[in-house]
Amino acid sequence: MDSIQSFYEYALLKKGVSEHFPFDQNILVFKVGGKIFALTALSDWEQGTAAINLKCDPERAVELREEYEEINPGYHMNKKHWNTLSCTGRLPAALIRELIDHSYELVLASLPKKLREEIGQMN
């Protein structure tokens, strides 16, 4: 993920995703079904220290942190369920996309069945 634009466009490709600024005008949040699956600070991208917080299966989160120094416990998040990924060019873009997908799928799966079905029918 080499730019905020590529992250933004990729996150919005997913069904039922909406963008928000619930905390301030710096923290961009992506939600599905009203629940957060990704967030980032716009100022970090501008400063060259881009990072994305993503939900992650707890066991996989630990494995990823051990394998990649650019993946750490979620900053300002529940560290068991969230990772912060440094997006400064060392992590493969394909891995970042995979982890965005994983976060989205985890949150989507946690939604009530009726809401998941409604999202599944969106174009």
pLDDT of residue 88: 86
The token pair at 21 is 């600024």
- Encode pLDDT of 37-63 as tens digits: 999 999 999 999 999 999 999 999 999
Instruction: Give CATH for domain 4-118.
Output: 3.90.1150.30
Domain ranges of the chain: 4-118
- Encode pLDDT of 79-106 as tens digits: 999 999 999 888 999 999 999 999 999 9
User: Confidence band (pLDDT; 50, 70, 90) for 123?
Assistant: low
Residues 54 and 38: beta-carbon distance below 8 Å: yes
Average pLDDT over residues 64-93: 93
pLDDT of residue 1: 73
Residues 73 and 93: beta-carbon distance below 8 Å: no
Residues 109 and 115: beta-carbon distance below 8 Å: no
Hey, how many other C-beta atoms are within 10 angstroms of the C-beta on 34? 11
Backbone angles phi, psi at 72, to 5 degrees: -130, 165
β-sheet with 51-55: strand ranges across? 17-20, 27-32, 35-41, 51-55, 82-86, 71-73
